[in-house]
């Protein structure tokens, strides 16, 4: 989906129903920056294909907006092609964690025959765990040729969260710092983390973006921008006051 002169979103990538995940890319006249690599190799193939088609011949690089597998699962596909993947130093997932993720998905399969076949592994066909090979530990500017995009540290959902800002087109890619239609996932943190998260949202709000690609959910435009920010804020404030996430005590 083309959002502006150089910004694109790849939406609705599968992960675990009913949750889908978004990715995207920004195209300069020399380099294309891919924002998140999807949850598996199949998603990465789609993202890569769209990015190459938008500007054939550009040098590609990718960035992970956080450490969760739905955002980094396609890293291996990009690294196999010699494409650098940037990310926070805290993105250092282990093979044991990756295998546990697959097993959790498998155990969630309702049909026992399919569960016995371990069909969750089909989702991760030819997918291997690959952490970023290039580190970002501070706000960083990326030159794409005719444009400069900004990588902003926006921790809270996890300490590893980054956002990508194209100031010329006023398009913001937030990863899971902001999501739309779904409840934000607070279970990875504590009230102290959620207070930091509120500060990150304040920082993004000050940019006054016209379009936001959230980590999950529909693209956000115009007047919807403030309501999405306020929605996540309200969940965070309520959770801080309560001392627990909105899903912490929910029945299985």
Residue 249 pLDDT exceeds 80:
no
In the prediction, which pLDDT does 230 show? Answer: 98
Residue 228's pLDDT band, with cuts at 50, 70 and 90, is: very high
75 backbone φψ class: left, alpha, beta (φ>0; ψ -120 to 50): alpha
Residue 250's pLDDT band, with cuts at 50, 70 and 90, is: low
Q: What is the pLDDT of residues 84-139, one digit of tens each?
A: 999 999 999 999 999 999 999 999 999 999 999 999 999 999 999 999 999 999 99
In the prediction, which pLDDT does 42 show? Answer: 96
- Cβ–Cβ under 8 Å, residues 162 and 88: yes
Dihedral (CA of 164, 1, 183, 98) sign? negative
Give Cβ neighbours of residue 144 (< 8 Å, ≥ 6 apart): 26, 27, 28, 29, 30, 31, 32, 33
Rounded to two decimals, the pTM is: 0.96
In the prediction, which pLDDT does 167 show? Answer: 98
Residue 17 pLDDT exceeds 90:
no
How many angstroms separate the CA atoms of 44 and 74, rounded? 5
In the prediction, which pLDDT does 248 show? Answer: 87
- Cβ–Cβ under 8 Å, residues 81 and 74: no
In the prediction, which pLDDT does 91 show? Answer: 97
Residue 251 pLDDT exceeds 60:
no
What does pLDDT average to over the chain? 96
Q: What is the pLDDT of residues 171-220, one digit of tens each?
A: 999 999 999 999 999 999 999 999 999 999 999 999 999 999 999 999 99
Q: What is the pLDDT of residues 48-97, one digit of tens each?
A: 999 999 999 999 999 999 999 999 999 999 999 999 999 999 999 999 99
CATH number, domain 7-93+129-242: 3.60.15.10
């Amino acid at each position: 989906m083309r959002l502006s002169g150089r910004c694109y979103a790849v939406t609705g990538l599968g992960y675990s129903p009913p949750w889908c995940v978004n990715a995207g890319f920004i195209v300069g006249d020399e380099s294309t920056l891919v924002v998140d690599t999807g949850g598996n190799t199949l998603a990465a193939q789609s993202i890569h294909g769209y990015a190459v088609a938008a500007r054939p011949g550009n040098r590609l690089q990718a960035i992970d907006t956080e450490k969760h597998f739905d955002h980094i699962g396609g890293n291996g596909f990009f690294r196999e092609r010699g494409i650098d993947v940037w990310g926070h130093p805290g993105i250092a997932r282990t093979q044991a964690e990756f295998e546990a993720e697959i097993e959790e998905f498998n155990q969630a399969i309702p049909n026992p025959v399919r569960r016995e076949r371990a069909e969750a592994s089909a989702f991760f066909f030819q997918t291997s765990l690959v952490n970023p090979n290039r580190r970002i530990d501070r706000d960083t500017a990326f030159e794409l040729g005719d444009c400069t995009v900004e990588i902003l540290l926006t921790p809270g959902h996890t300490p590893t969260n980054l956002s990508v800002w194209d100031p010329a087109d006023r398009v913001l890619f937030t990863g899971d710092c902001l999501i739309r239609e779904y409840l934000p996932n607070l279970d990875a943190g504590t009230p102290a983390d959620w207070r930091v998260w509120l500060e990150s949202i304040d920082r993004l709000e000050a940019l006054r973006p016209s379009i936001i690609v959230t980590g999950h959910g529909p693209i956000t435009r115009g007047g919807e921008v403030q309501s999405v920010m306020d929605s996540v804020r309200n969940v965070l404030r309520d959770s801080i006051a309560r001392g627990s996430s909105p899903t912490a005590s929910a029945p299985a």
